[in-house]
Structure formats: C-alpha cells, structure tokens
Structure 1
Amino acid sequence: MDFDTTLAEAWIRAIAAAVDQEQARLTELDSAIGDGDHGSNLRRGFTAALTALEGLRPDGPGAVLGKTGTTLVSKVGGASGPLYGKAFRAVGAALPEPAAPAALAEALASGLDAVRALGKAEPGDKTIVDAWTPAVAAFRHAAATGADLPAAAAAAAEAAEQGARDTVPLRARKGRASYLGERTIGHQDPGATSTALIFRALAEATAG
C-alpha cells in the first residue's frame, strides 16, 4: 500500500474527527500552561480544511496536504496555525505520488524540519517537536525494516503518544508556556498531544 490522494484525504478527515472529539481535552491541557484555545483553534482550522478540500480536485496527495497547510495558516490563531500549516505544506511539497512508506517517512521529516525552523524548538523544549521527532524516527525505522504503511504509521503513532506523555516532567522552554517557568512541570504539552492525535489519525486512515 502506498500513500495516495485517497489516503491523504482520509487522513485529514480523521484528524478533523479526532480534534473534534478531543477538543475539550486539548483546551484543558492548554488552559494549564497556555491560552486555553488550542482545542478550539485546531477544530476551527481542520473544519475549514475539510471545507477547502470539498471543492478541490487534487492532482496528488501533496496537493491535499498543501491545501490543508495553507488553510491552517489562514484560519488558526496562535502559534499552532503557522506551525502546523507550514508542517503540512512541507510534507505535501516533499511527497511523490504515490508515496511508498520510506518516501512518506522522509516527507514527514520535512514537516518536522519546518516546525523546528519556524519555532526554533529542539527535543526537550516541551513542544510539538517532542512528539513529532520520535514519530518520524519510528516511521523511518519501520519503513527501513520492511513494514507496510499501516504498520509504519501505527509505530509512529505509538511513538508520538509516548513522546507527548514524556513532556509531563519537562519545563517549557519555548512559546507562551515558557513564561510560566517551573509551573509548566507536571503538565502534558498540548501541542505534543495534538501532534500525537495527528499521527494516530494517520494510523487509523491507513488501517482502513
């Protein structure tokens, strides 16, 4: 199985459904160490992305993700809109059509590079990067060892979820949360949590 236009669209639908379901949890996490709007912002963004895709006749999976990214940049406030928007645009730009698991792994790595370049964050800073980094590593490893797309995506989702949980003892060093200093310790990062939702949605979409 390769990652094609149909799977790209299924991924965005799965993300939108996950964000809608977990909006309250994301808001709760963000209320502890941020503005409390992460869940509502992402819900608005991915709802808008679904609407944008309805009228699109994409010529490949990259076009689907590129349109999603552009929509997130224009519709989502705070830091998450530009970060996720640029990430999806970078993934889309790097995707061949269709994309084998190894190619999708490298495209996801391009998305991580975009997040790091914009946010200037490193692993351990208690951000999106703390979930996206292990997800890419797991996806790459699975693809390199012959895993098919659903298995590679499942491995990435598990790694992202563990990465999100691993932010709990960290002190935030980037973004608005960093102003709270020691008070961020003991709280799971909302951005890493939404990244885990995004990778779990990819696993669900590819699993059929």
Structure 2
Amino acid sequence: MTRIAAEQFVEILRIVSARIDEAREHLAELDGAIGDADHGRTMSEGFAAVVRDAHEAARRGAGAAELLPIAARSFLNAVGATAGPLYAGGFAEAGRRLAGRAALADADLLVLLAGLGEGIARRGRAVPGDKTMMDAYGPAIRAASAAEADGAGVGEALRAAARAAAEGREATRTMIASKGRAARLGTRSLGHVDPGAASAAVVVDALREGYEAVLARRRTDR
C-alpha cells in the first residue's frame, strides 16, 4: 500500500492544476457557447490557489487530510463564480471523509473522488442528466466503485473513473441544460459539451495521472 504524505498530495494537486491550466482556453470556448466564457479562467485560478495554499500548509507541517479544508477555502476565496462554492463544497466533503489522516492510503484517493463529486452534487443540487459537471463526476464515481468492488487496484479504478468521466463529458452534447446559466438557452444548449463536465473530466484524469506519478517516484526511490 502506498502512503501519500502531504507533500506528495500537493504534487497530485499540482498536476491537476497544470492540466486544468492547459485546458483553460478550451474550457473558455466551451463556456462561451452556452455561458459567459469564464469557466477556464475560474477553474485555473481556483486550482492555482489550492496548490499555493496547500503547499504552504504542508511546508508548515499540515497533514495530507488537513489540506482538503484548506483547499475548500482557497478555491472559494479565489473564485467568485459558480464553480467556487461547488468545489469548496466538494473539497470540504472530501475533507470530512478523510479527517485525521496525516498521510493518505492509496485507496483514500477513491474516497477523495467520491467526496469531491458528492459534495459538489449536494451544493449544486444537480444529478447526472442535468448537463453539469455531475455528468462526469457521477459516472466516474460509479465506475471507480464498481472497479474497486471487482478487486481492481486503485490505479485501475482511477483509470476506469477517467474513462467514464470522458464518456460522461461527451454525453452532455445530447442533453438540454437544466441547471446554471446554460438552462436559459433551453434546447439551444443541445449539441454543446458542458464546460463543467469537461473540466471535471480533466480533474478526474489528472488525479489518475497524479497517483501514477506518486507510484513511479516510489519505484525510482527504492
């Protein structure tokens, strides 16, 4: 079992932030079609703030799980748009589920994913089918849970989650938005990928990448 210390968890968050930043312009284009084109900027700024504050907290000796409520506050303070309260709720729920852990077990990343998605769902009152980020997080959580129940390792479960999130993202093309600004478009939202689902798919795949990077570094250090 891999133990993920606070510094390693920060590196996972740094990979998530980097992948979101790389997708920034694409997310803005998606949002421009059915929203106000700010989703790429807000997600990039939110995760940059998370990494900055988590790094500082880890340097001061905070445990890995303690970084999650810090991430919640950081994202909310950095992002005033809709994504701010949603991701704050997600990080806060993940923090509650993992409270007290100075280091995370590898399987705790699946707990984190479930808490993040379910905290977002509760705050946004959204479910898969509403054409929101839950159309990526919902399938990802279910796929990870099913893989784990079948005896898959954490890496395989995260890969299954990433595939399901990508499929969920693409499925939003066929949906009519019922939440957020896009809901005002009605049937005109058909044919467009939801930007929140797109960014969620990036986050899930980046968690997979970050975990694999932790494993690779451990093998190198042996």
How does the TM-score come out when normalised to structure 1? 0.92
SS in structure 2 of the partner of residue 166 of structure 1? helix
Letter in 1 for 2:54: L
Partners of 1:63 and 1:136 in 2: how far apart? 22
Gaps of 5+ in 2: 214-222
Q: Which runs of 5+ in 1 are unaligned?
A: none
CA drift of 1:110 comes to: 2.7
> How far 1:149 sits from its partner (Å)?
1.8
Quote the residue 2:180 is aligned against.
175
The number of residue pairs the alignment matches comes to 207
Query: How far apart are residue 118 of structure 1 and its match?
Result: 1.4
Q: Which residue of 2 aligns with 1:25?
A: 26
Q: How far apart are 1:8 and its partner, in Å?
A: 2.3
> What is the aligned counterpart of 2:94 among 70, 81, 91?
91
Which residue number in structure 2 is paired with residue 81 of structure 1? 84
1:38 alignment counterpart: 39
Contact 1:8 1:65 in 2 (8 A): no
- Name the structure 2 match of 1:110: 115
Indicate the SS of the match to 2:65. Answer: helix
- Partner letter of residue 194 of structure 1? S
Q: Write out per-residue CA displacement over residues 114-155 of structure 1, whole angstroms, 9 at most, x where no aligned residue.
A: 212211111100001110001011111122222222211111
CA distance in 1, matches of 2:203, 2:106: 19
One-letter amino acid of the counterpart of residue 204, structure 2: F
Distance 1:180 1:203 in 2: 34
Partner SS for 1:168: helix
1:197 aligns with 2:202: yes
Q: Which amino acid aligns with 2:80?
A: G
- Whether the 8 Å CA contact 1:65–1:88 is kept in 2: the answer is yes
Asked whether the equivalents of residues 110 and 158 of structure 2 are also in contact (C-alpha less than 8 Å), the reply is no
Give CA deviations for 1:63-100 in whole Å, capped at 9, x if unaligned.
22221121011111211111012101211221254335
Cα RMSD, aligned residues only: 1.6
Larger Rg: 2
Q: Distance in 1 between matches of 2:30 and 2:44?
A: 15
- Could you tell me the TM-score, scaled by structure 2's length? 0.87
**Take 1:21 and 1:46, find their aligned partners in 2: how far apart are those partners?**
12
Letter paired with 2:121 = R
Q: Of residues 44, 68, 79 in structure 1, which corresponds to 2:71?
A: 68
Q: Structure 2 CA distance, aligned partners of 1:54 and 1:114?
A: 23
2: CA distance between counterparts of 1:42 and 1:195?
Answer: 10
